[in-house]
Structure 1
Amino acid sequence: MARKDDYENAFKLAARELGAGAPAVIGGLSGAEYDEANQRLVLEFIGRRVFIAWPDIAVGYLDSEEAVPITEQVLILHYLSRAKGAPLSGQAITYREVPSGEFYYPAFVKRAEAPMLSVFGNSPELLTRTAPEIGGRPVEDLGDAAAVFQALPQVPVTLVVWGGDDEFEPSGKILFDRSISHYLDVEDVAWLSGMIVYRLMRLAPKYTGGN
């Protein structure tokens, strides 16, 4: 497991690279809003509005003094640095189809798909009930339950669950637009998926009577 120092070093490296760029240009490539008066970009990240200030890169929530977790700050900076302005393709792919996804797939299952099924596999309806709380939108006619999340301006992520029965174990998939590699590398795709899943898992007890 990476240490806090590793994330802080990753943030410094990403901030140095990003700070050398022009925020207006980066905003155009990433879909973030450019707030010229305050020299910052503003974007929505898993249902919350965040800002990225220039030139000394800082990341924060627009609606709160709460600190953005360092792992999420790093991912947001990676997204902005990598953004190529590629349009969404409208074609859904699995993690295995992301470049190098086959190699990282076991780690992806452990980080995102398995936790998703541990909570929603036997209660698919919980997925569509919790999703709107973090900006997700239920999707009909896909699995037993599905929801799409605009995790970043150009990164939709769709969670799909099929409930188990007497014959079959629960199953699920996390789907991405084929353009995702223009915005995040394969490891960041896995981290982002886990961030969405764990937010939903924390919300589930609210709908099941748990604490």
Structure 2
Amino acid sequence: MAVDLNYEKDSKERIPYEHYLEVYQNADPKEISSRCDVPYDAEKQEFTVSLMGVSYRISWPEYNVFHIGDDGSVSPIIGWYPLEKKPNAKILVLRYLTEGGAAPSTGKFLTYREIPWGEVYFKQFQGRCLFRLAFGFGGKLDAFREIMERVGAQAISSGDVGYELEFMKGLFVRLILWAGDDEFPPSAQILFSDNFPAAFTQGEDMAVVGDVTIDMLKALAAK
């Protein structure tokens, strides 16, 4: 799918997208492949990148994106392909490819407040992600379970319901829900594997990870 985001001239996403696209187009694809641990086919000039259980072919230098079926063909897997259409997902992956890098996790998970700059932006993250997850699915735990199972997430023993999802290769998020009761409203927590700060250098990136993940939940809940 060709890059056609239909940005308005004053779009807050247009300028960063164009900036990171220029960096990407002038980068060495072999260096990107090595630094980010993503396969690169030099003959086809394509990376293969995984996002939330879906593999995508990403061309270089054009940054055209196509999702890949299990047999290698272009066919649906889960029916939600943000990297083809969503500007925030496109910019996030561009930032990873141009500035981030693969690093092993120790197995520890971090709250948003524990990541660099997380304390500064916590209120925004709380509204954009934690409240949205809690009030979107705190009363729909069965629907939440069904979606997480559908995308291959692993159940964990946290909260009333919790799952661990591989967001990108080697980068895991944990989504945890508490249903609430007559006295307390539903609540949520999102945890990030401790290699996220190596992959993404800004606290805003992890908020976008939360946005993209919750967008996926809402899209699949509607199917």
TM bin, normalised by shorter chain, reads 0.7 to 0.9
- State the match for 1:155 in structure 2: 171
Moved more, 173-182 or 26-35: 26-35
SS of corresponding position for 1:55 = coil
Alpha-carbon distance between aligned partners in 2 of 1:47 and 1:21, rounded to the nearest angstrom: 26
Point out the structure with the larger helix share. Answer: 1
The answer to whether the 8 Å contact 2:135/2:187 transfers is no
Match of 2:3 in 1: none
Per-residue Cα deviation, 1:154-189 (whole angstroms, up to 9, x for no partner): 321110011212343322100001121111121011
The match for 1:172 is: 188
Determine which of 122, 146, 151 is the counterpart of 2:162: 146
Deviates more, 1:22-31 or 1:57-66: 57-66
**Displacement, 1:64?**
6.0
Contact 1:96–1:102 at 8 Å: present in 2 too? yes
How far did residue 205 of structure 1 move? 4.6
Q: Does 1:74 align with 2:80?
A: no
Matched, 1:9 2:15: yes
Show the counterpart of 1:39: 45
Contact 2:88–2:212 (CA under 8 A) maintained in structure 1? no
Q: TM-score, normalised by structure 2?
A: 0.81
Q: Go from structure 1 to structure 2 and tell me whether the alpha carbon gap of 1:195 and 1:188 turns closer, same or farther (over 3 Å shift).
A: same
- Of all paired residues, the percent bearing the same amino acid is 26
Give the residue type in structure 1 aligned to 2:173. Answer: V
Structure 1 residues without counterparts, runs of 5 or longer: 207-211
Unaligned runs of 5+ in 2: 1-6, 69-73
2:71 is aligned to: none
**Cα RMSD (Å):** 2.2
Matched, 1:126 2:132: no
Contact 1:154-1:183 at 8 Å conserved across structures: no
**In 2, Cα distance between the equivalents of 1:84 and 1:140?**
27
Distance across 2 between alignment mates of 1:34 and 1:100: 32
